[in-house]
Amino acid sequence: MKATFSQFGKPTDVIELTELISETLQQGHVRLRMLAAPINPADINYIQGTYGIKPALPAAAGVEGCGVVTESLSENFQQGDKVIIINQVGTWSAEHTADAANLLKIPSDTPSEQAAMLKVNPLTAWCMLTQLRALPEGSWIIQNAANSGVGHCVIQIAKLLGLNTINLVRREELLPELEQLGGTINLLDNADSIEQMRAKKPTLAFNAVGGDSALRLMDALDTKGLHITYGAMGGRSLKVPNKFLIFKRIEIQGFWVTEWIKEQPAELVDSAYQMLARWMTEGILAQPIDSTYPLDQINAAIERAMTSQRNGKVLLTLE
């Protein structure tokens, strides 16, 4: 089976499971047996028609996942290789056929469930920490939505890089989890936390919420700090007070890992993913998994993924 949709709308209303018909493999293409794929906010927005990319309909669902090569007409891949899909959708499927250029081989011992989540969140966190501003060891970073997949990756990767994190969440019961993960300072996302954040003179802020939460990050940033927006979980746009731009001279920037991948040399993308996969294999980089569902329970999986009380990602098991 594979998951598709013929109209945009509420995912549980429009998603359909259709019979998978194997395509004749073209030269330079690879056939995969899919292992697992997560349900990301981007997947939900993609099906709703509100994502940055709006597909022609009918469309296949799933923006990332992990699979094993079962047939290859590309010299770069052999049967049995473990791969992730980095430039093509359609991962919510028992089988996937792709141009070899859209695949990336990873070590075979990379845990499959973690590898399924490798494309988006770990690379987003690594890029924001290393590619947008040079940070001396010991620098401070602040972020909201610290309990998210990206948030967890930021904490772990920052620790590996010798950087300090201030991590904001909306619920007090989430704080011990962040401390156990290695967050340097973990606070509730409210006005009472601004002074404590500001005292550390953070130079980099990661915003995935918007609205008042994004404003608090701007307020806490040090002079000439960089404020990066990579998500909009709160559904509210940024409103930037003039004083932050004029007197603090902060920079406002957006980040979308999909475009970063397209713009960078293939060697840099590959080396970054190999490093992240190695950290996963070593057990020093992981994203929490809330629950797993077989593909034939896609609606239950989507409903779970859209709840706010999850403790990690919802994964589709596709074998």
Q: Is residue 267 domain-resident?
A: no
In a domain, 275, yes or no: no
Query: In three state form, how does the secondary structure of 168-231 look?
Result: EECCHHHHHHHHHHCCCEEEECCHHHHHHHHCCCCCEEEECCEHHHHHHHHHHCCCCCEEEECC
**Predicted pLDDT at 308:** 79
9 shares its domain with 92: yes
Q: How far is CA 58 from the centre of its chain?
A: 25
Give 108-144 pLDDT, tens digit per residue: 999 999 999 999 999 999 999 999 999 999 999 999 9
- On the CB side of 71, CA atoms within 13 Å amount to 12
Calculate Rg over the CA atoms of the chain.
20
Its domain, for residue 237, covers: 121-258
Phi and psi torsions of 107, nearest 5°: -55, 140
Give 154 or 53, the one with higher predicted confidence: 154
Give residue 179's pLDDT band: very low, low, confident or very high (50, 70, 90): very high
Residue carrying the six token digits 């307020």: 219
Residue matched to tokens 């794929």: 37
pLDDT in tens, 248-260: 999 999 999 999 9
150 with 74, same domain: the answer is no
The two structure tokens encoding residue 302:
């989507």
The number of domains in the chain is: 2
Domain boundary at 258, 278, 306, which? 258
Q: What is the CATH number of the domain that holds 304?
A: 3.90.180.10
Q: What is the pLDDT of residue 152?
A: 97
Q: Is 220 inside any structural domain? A: yes
* Catalytic pick among 51, 230, 273, 293: 51
Do 160 and 250 fall into the same domain? Answer: yes
| pLDDT on residue 272 | 98
Q: Binning pLDDT at 50, 70 and 90, where does residue 311 land?
A: confident
Whether residue 100 sits in one domain with residue 125: no
Q: Are residues 185 and 246 in the same domain?
A: yes
230 is catalytic: no
73 and 188 share one domain:
no
Assess whether 130 and 111 both reside in one domain.
Answer: no
pLDDT in tens, 2-20: 999 999 999 999 999 999 8
Tell me which amino acid residue 92 is: W
